[in-house]
């Protein structure tokens, strides 16, 4: 981050201590493309070494755009360092959360329907556990029989 960025914020926070109005103006100023508020524009020009705009001055316009780009990059770095997220990122998380909540609800409905089907077919909790237990015992017995037959083959050799 550059020196002008810190100077801007230092001066801004000093001004902000005078009241909430500056914070509201700053928010509007940034959302409106760094235009509108005369005091903030002057503060920004002063910190970034820009002269007041002249009519049809392409170089001044390019310097203004570069300063805005530098300011936005520094703002993004500061936000990342402080753990802030942009409104866009926040909205993306909210959208993902809503999607996941919808999926959870759908899965809960499906689970309830499957449980009801199991109950209707007599395979409720107890019956299902007994069925799984029987299947596991059968597999264990088959595995033991396989191991015994392998053991017999090696004994013969």
pLDDT tens readout for residues 106-141:
999 998 998 888 778 776 667 677 778 899 999 999
142 and 80, same structural domain?
Answer: no
Contact 52, 45 (CB under 8 A): yes
Do 13 and 47 lie in a common domain?
Answer: yes
- Helix, strand, coil % in the chain, rounded to nearest 5: 80, 0, 20
- Domain with 140 in it: 91-156
How many residues appear in the chain? 157
Residue 54, pLDDT above cutoff 70 = no
Residue 23 to residue 13: CA distance in whole angstroms:
9
Provide the number of structural domains found in the chain: 2
Which helix (H) or strand (E) segment holds residue 136: the answer is helix 125-156
What pLDDT score was predicted for residue 94? Answer: 96
CB-side neighbour CA atoms (13 Å) of 75: 13
Query: Can you give the pLDDT at residue 132?
Result: 85
Q: Is the pLDDT higher at 102 or at 62?
A: 102
- pTM for the full predicted model: 0.44
pLDDT for position 123 = 66
């Amino acid at each position: 981050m550059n020196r002008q960025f810190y100077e801007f914020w230092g001066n801004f926070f000093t001004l902000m201590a005078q009241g909430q109005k500056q914070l509201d103006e700053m928010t509007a100023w940034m959302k409106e493309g760094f235009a509108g508020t005369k005091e903030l524009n002057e503060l920004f020009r002063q910190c970034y070494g820009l002269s007041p705009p002249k009519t049809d001055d392409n170089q001044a316009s390019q310097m203004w755009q570069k300063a805005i780009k530098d300011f936005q990059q520094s703002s993004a770095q500061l936000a990342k360092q402080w753990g802030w997220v942009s409104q866009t990122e926040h909205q993306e998380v909210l959208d993902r959360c809503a999607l996941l909540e919808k999926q959870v609800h759908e899965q809960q409905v499906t689970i309830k329907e499957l449980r009801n089907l199991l109950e209707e077919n007599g395979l409720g909790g107890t019956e299902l556990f007994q069925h799984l237990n029987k299947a596991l015992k059968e597999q264990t017995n088959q595995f033991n029989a396989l191991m015994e037959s392998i053991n017999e083959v090696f004994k013969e050799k």
